[in-house]
Structure 1
Amino acid sequence: MTTPQPHITRRPPSEVMRLERLGSLHQCRMSFMRTLLRRLAGDQWQFTRPHFDIDATGVGYAVYTAAGPERSYSLVAFAHDLPDEKRSDRVIADAWDATFTLFDGVPDSQDIARLKQNVPLQEAGRISEKELSLSRANRSVRLWDYVVSELASGQQPDTDVIDQVGYLMRTTAVYGSGKFGAADRETISNREELFPPFQVEMLSVFLTRKFVLDLVQHMAWAKGGETAVKLDRSIAQRLGIGNSTGLGMAPFVINHPVLFNNWIKAREEAIYRVRSVVSAVADDTEIFRDRLKRSTISVARWTSKHPVQMRKIDALKHDLVLLSARVDEYDFQTAYPWDNLMNWAAHQLSIEGQELLASLILEPYPDLVDPLVSCMADTTSTVARIDGSMTVGDVKTLLEKSFAWAFDLDWQAPQNCARAWYVSEEKLEPRLGERFEEPIAAYEQPLAPARDAAHAFHALKEWPETSKVAAFLQSHPEHRHTIRRAQLCEVAPYGEVQDNTISSDVLPIDMLRAKLSFFGATHFDPRSDRWIRICMFAGAPYPESLSESNSDDWIYPELAQ
């Protein structure tokens, strides 16, 4: 039962939208991977493998089909014999261990022939509106050969070695939404199963994980023959699909303010609803205690060599000790127990620990939380139009709402504008360069909303409060993108990062993690301040064993018996 109280409020954008907090978000019930598997299980989707034509060298193709109540989708996977020297996670790579597309329906032989000519080329090829995604993956150098050799000799791999990496392959890109000829988002968004964000990409990765398991076992059989054994199911379930993500993803958070607002706003609404629960029944507290214990196991397995992330993991481990002790003695019969626990965390835990707790308190309440997933897509079509009839005074008020903190910064100081975002000519990918060390200022992209808001606000001060902003923009068209963003904040209050994205100490990995946490990623492992590795679907059931009973809490490791 929830009863909103005046003392319980939704956390404001000024608190939530700081990069330090966005870079500490964790997966939750609303994450896109969990949303997908709940639907697949609830609607009793059926999975088949109509083709697995891969030879002893690991070259060939396979097809995995997911059949739902109304439609089917098929992952078409191509396996390649890639020399070690050509294996690279960089976007400039032109060959991979495996390449994929998610086909709308079930491909026939002509489709396969066409895809065989294009999918392995990735950007250099072209797919059609029959395809919904394009992706590629590389083997883990540390784990692939080891697992193949162990299985080929009749042995199971050591779980400690497995956990050090967590995946046999990692994707280096999963493209959708119209890229390289694939179907546009608007052509499929009216399908119930694909309406929530990134369901195409999550389904592609889920089926990719099954292909990787089949392929590693196939290669072990090719090497060991009758001696080879299959990977133990409990070990296989620990493995996910890795992902290597760089700066190309960071601008997404800035360039999609309405969509990102919907994600954050839905999560904040879920947190608010649970904090408004008057009393927690025994079943709810038991679920929470269980997820807390299992999260402790997950964090214990989380490793990174990046100094910032290492400190955050250490702080989180300490937080979990404090939180577990607090929960052991906590009286959940007190009024508004979750709100009280969150208030305690705000003063006792690191931001990393606070955000993990925020995710955990959602676990016992699917009825309050899960329906909010339907609010996370961007269905607007007109909000990007500038309202020229708005007065200068009203626009200034909107700018102050999101960017007042930025108006007092000295934007001429080198540390406040040290970086510049631009697009590389070679690969047309976003890059972040040093403004005063590289000749890139002329190519800067509009990815510094705070600076631009400060400049626009300064220019607006010269105009009468009652003037129409259309007149202002006729004289200052360079501020059009900022005025548009200001007006968007009326419908997207959580759409703006409230930090300086071009400062000397900005960490782009915070933006990467914010997005990836909504995917449902775990074990974030930054390799620098500009790219990060993660693991997806680790612990999840495979398609053939997916059921309503195991479709959701798989994200948390099982407790030792």
Structure 2
Amino acid sequence: MANLPVSLPSRGADLMELTHLGAIWPTKFSFAHSFLRTVCRMDFSCEISKLRLDDAGRGHIAYRARLDGHTMTFVVFSDPLPEHQQQDRIIATRWDAWAALFIGEPSAGDIEQSREQIQQVTWGRAAPRTLAWSRANRSARLFEHVVASLAAGQQPDPRQLNQIGYLIRTTGFSGNGRNGMHDYAYLRQIGHPLQAPYHAQMMAAYLWREFGYDLALHLARVRNPAAVDLSDESRRFVGVGNSSGIGLVPFVVRHPRLLDRWIGAREQALAEMYRERFEADDSRCDEFDRQLERAIEYFAHEPTGDLDEFAPSEAIHAELLQVREQFAHLRAGWKAGASRSNPLAELLVSWRGRCCLETGELLNSLLLECHEGGNVDANTLHADESLPFDPTQKAGALKDLIETHLAWVSRFTVEGERPFFWYASEENMEPRRGSRDIDEGEQYALPVDVMGRVEELLSRLRAVPPEQTLGRFLIAHPDMRFMVGWVSTLADSHYAIARTDLLTKDFSPLRIMRFQLATYGMLKFRPRSRTWLRATLFQGAGLPRELAAGHAGDGLLPSVPHGYELTEEPLLGE
């Protein structure tokens, strides 16, 4: 086992297939986990700086967070809606709550401007020093269950907490220059602690979780001044929800170099773990065993969604039990003197093809929890997304590059099998999918058809002399400028191109959506339809005082609260 059959290129092609991408779980490289580790390495504090809520929960709360001497303020405006008026879609115009994240302390005028302008969604104008806007709804049934339990002097039923997993469900985050907010290049320019990719959004999401706790306790104390607070265990177990639709999908096509950077960091760390040599008493084997036990417990209780897009929890749980049994056998033989250099790699390689993709990728995520390097600093996951090329390169050389590295593209471009196009909706400029010859607007289609465009570029390159320069080629074919840069930059990248075509009739949006949400660090992927799902972020994350003390929380999977099996109440719907 000294030379395991594992290398970065060997996983590239299979990993980038749609079914495989859609089986990936969060890892230590996911943005939520990267954010938590970053906060734990810094001087951090968080407190309520202002609370103005009436007995119905209307008003606003301001949170002051300090991170290595930098102050941020998160202001949440609360105006609860009747449940039948809630909409999770981005086109909604009313929510239970909406919020802004500021650099520093906003003025009263900034707060009032944000209260009004966030409700304008696309057309609103951000107040100075705004980093992000966000909107959210309550999980009506769980929220009411928690409020009623606390008012009665009791902790909520752990099974109910697990069924849904959040009190507040966000409908998205706007930032990076949108609506006049600070762009994130500014954060890198000033060396801000939130300069790493998506860390500003993660800060906002983490504080949404705090808002959910505080609003529930406020309303419980309205009912009963002697209401109890949520226990630390329950607080840690409850995350913040997210509702995401089909608008997420084009991201992986439009940001290929970022995709390559994200996945490459993960795969590099995996390759390092697979190639390591372990001593018989290596603590990383003990840590993997602990992670495996936690995963078994998690999937023993994790509800399965209504749609069959992903592997059911009970199937993953059953396979994990078998993996644990084999790992125990490997460790026993290894300690008895069997010649093995890496029982973890041997275990995972042996399970390839024997378990579902979700279980296989979960094992990789658990393995990365034992990886001692790879802390994602502020620059690791930034990517230059320009697509440069050499105009003096020969057309024949680019043709050869396509035929060598992108020959697989042709399988996606069968005529008559691509009935969709993508466009930006008039209401909010979000990506949407339309049907050719049925929906209007095909002339305004978004440029996401890279598969078809690669074939078109190849056809044109074959029609010109191979010694012609790309500069001369583009004088005759200026519409190919983007694709020449795209192919020149990405053709030999292992992880830049998702091997799926967004225009084919069998394309599954949920798979791409799950992949992207996993990169954020989400769990509980619950499809509500074939184009919309809910997930949960920061389940198991440390509480503010725990982050301040350097403890990020439970890690990849949350620990189930004690007393899980003690109640028999009917489970709540979402």
Quote the Cα distance in structure 1 between the aligned partners of 2:432 and 2:404: 29
Give deviations 1:321-366, integer Å, cap 9, x for gaps.
2212221212366113333223212132221111111111111222
Distance 1:497 1:389 in 2: 29
Distance 2:484 2:343 in 1: 42
Distance 1:398 1:252, change over 3 A: same
Q: What amino acid does structure 2 have at the position aligned with 1:195?
A: Q
Q: 1:78: Cα distance to partner?
A: 0.9
Larger mean Cα displacement after TM superposition, 346-355 or 254-263: 346-355
Query: Are residue 316 (structure 1) and residue 319 (structure 2) matched?
Result: no
TM-score normalised per structure 1: 0.93
CA distance in 1, matches of 2:4, 2:378: 26
SS state of the match for residue 180, structure 1?
Answer: helix
**Could you tell me which residue of structure 1 aligns to residue 48 of structure 2?**
49
8 Å Cα contact 1:242/1:535 also seen in 2: yes
Does the 8 A contact of 1:275 with 1:337 survive in 2? no
Q: 2:354 aligned with 1:348, yes or no? A: yes
2:298–2:559 contact (8 Å) kept in structure 1: no
Conservation of the 8 A alpha-carbon contact between 1:277 and 1:338? no
Aligned residue in 2 for 1:284: 284
SS at match of 1:50: strand
Counterpart AA for 1:500: D
Q: Counterpart of 1:9 in structure 2: which amino acid?
A: S
Moved more, 391-400 or 139-148: 391-400
Match of 2:364 in 1: 358
Compute the displacement of 1:111 (Å). Answer: 2.6
> CA 1:278/1:322 → structure 2, altered by over 3 Å: closer, same or farther?
same
Aligned twin of 1:370: 375
Q: Kindly report which structure 2 residues correspond to 1:202-351, keeping only aligned pairs within 5 A, or say none.
A: 202-222=202-222, 224-279=223-278, 281-309=281-309, 311-331=311-331, 334-351=340-357
Asked if structure 1 preserves the Cα contact closer than 8 Å seen for 2:234 and 2:561, the reply is no
Check conservation: 2:45, 2:66, Cα contact below 8 A.
Answer: yes
Cα distance in 1, alignment partners of residues 3 and 379 from structure 2: 25
Secondary structure of 2:101's match?
A: strand
Q: Distance in 1 between matches of 2:558 and 2:27?
A: 14
Partner of 1:201: 201
The CA distance in 1 between the partners of 2:301 and 2:379, in whole Å, is: 33
- What residue identity is the alignment partner of 1:365? H
Aligned to 1:445: 446
1:19 match: 18
The CA deviation at 1:4 is 9.7
> 1:431-464: per-residue Cα shift (whole Å, max 9, x none)?
1122254344323222122122122112211122
Cα separation, 1, equivalents of 2:200 and 2:413: 44
Task: Figure out how many residues of one structure are paired with residues of the other and give that number.
Answer: 553
Question: Which has the higher mean CA deviation after the structures are superposed, 260-269 or 337-346?
Answer: 337-346
Distance 1:243 1:460 in 2: 45
d(CA) in 2 for partners of 1:306, 1:83 = 25
**Are 1:398 and 2:401 matched, yes or no?**
yes
1:468 alignment partner in structure 2:
469
What SS is found at the alignment partner of 1:102?
strand
Give the Å deviation of 1:308.
2.6
SS in 2 for 1:452: helix
Deviations, residues 70-121 of structure 1 (Å, cap 9, x unaligned): 3111111111132333211012210111111110012233332332332344
Deviates more, 1:161-170 or 1:145-154: 145-154
Q: Please state if 1:58 is matched with 2:57.
A: yes
Closer, same or farther: CA 485–493 of 1 in aligned 2, 3 Å: farther
Alignment partner of 1:9 is 2:7: yes
The answer on whether the counterparts of 1:540 and 1:555 sit within 8 Å (CA) in structure 2 is no
Question: C-alpha distance in 1, partners of 2:178/2:45?
Answer: 28
**Relative to structure 1, is the Cα distance of residues 315 and 401 closer, same or farther in structure 2, using a 3 angstrom cutoff?**
farther
Change (3 A) 1:499 1:112: closer
Confirm or deny: 8 A CA contact 1:419 1:504 kept in the other structure.
yes
| 1:199 to partner: Cα distance | 0.2
> CA–CA distance in 2 between the matches of 1:186 and 1:318?
46
Quick one: which amino acid aligns to residue 394 of structure 1? A
Aligned partner of 1:544 in structure 2 is 545
Q: Is the 8 A contact 1:244 1:532 kept in 2?
A: yes
- CA–CA distance in structure 2, aligned partners of residues 4 and 419 of structure 1: 49
Give, as a single letter, the amino acid of the residue that structure 1 aligns with 2:282: A
More divergent stretch after superposition (114-123 vs 130-139): 114-123
Conserved 8 A contact 1:262-1:492: no
Instruction: Please give the per-residue CA displacement for 1:218-271, whole angstroms capped at 9, x wherever unaligned.
Output: 01111x233422222222221110000111211111111111110011111111
Check whether the contact 1:402–1:489 (CA below 8 A) recurs between aligned residues.
no
User: Residue 276 of structure 2 contacts residue 342 of structure 2 at CA under 8 Å; is this kept in 1?
Assistant: yes
- Partner deviation per Cα, 1:295-330 (whole Å, 9 max, x = no partner): 122223333434333545444233212212221212
After superposing the two structures, state which structure 1 stretch, 153-162 or 247-256, moved more.
153-162
Distance 1:304 1:446, change over 3 A: farther
Indicate how the Cα distance of structure 1 residues 39 and 491 shifts in structure 2: closer, same or farther if over 3 A, else same.
farther
Identity, % of aligned positions? 28
| Residues in 1 aligned to 2:356 and 2:316: alpha-carbon distance in whole angstroms | 7
2:343 maps to amino acid: P
Question: 1:552 deviation in Å?
Answer: 4.8
Is the Cα contact below 8 Å between 2:413 and 2:451 reproduced in 1?
no
Bigger mean CA offset, 6-15 vs 344-353: 6-15
- The equivalent residue for 2:511 is 510
More deviation, 246-255/463-472: 463-472
**CA deviation digits over 1:446-504, x for unaligned, max 9?**
21221221221122111222211222222223322222211221684411111222111
Preserved CA contact (<8 Å) 1:418 1:434? yes
Describe the shift of the 1:483–1:117 C-alpha distance in structure 2 as closer, same or farther (beyond 3 A).
same
Question: What CA distance in whole angstroms lies between the structure 1 residues aligned with 2:97 and 2:118?
Answer: 10
Gaps of 5+ in 1: none
Structure 1 residue 294 displacement after superposition: 0.7
CA contact (8 A) 1:266 1:372 kept: no
- C-alpha spacing 1:89/1:535, structure 2 compared with 1 (3 Å): same
Q: Which residue of 2 aligns with 1:115?
A: 114
Counterparts of 2:203 and 2:345, CA distance in 1: 35
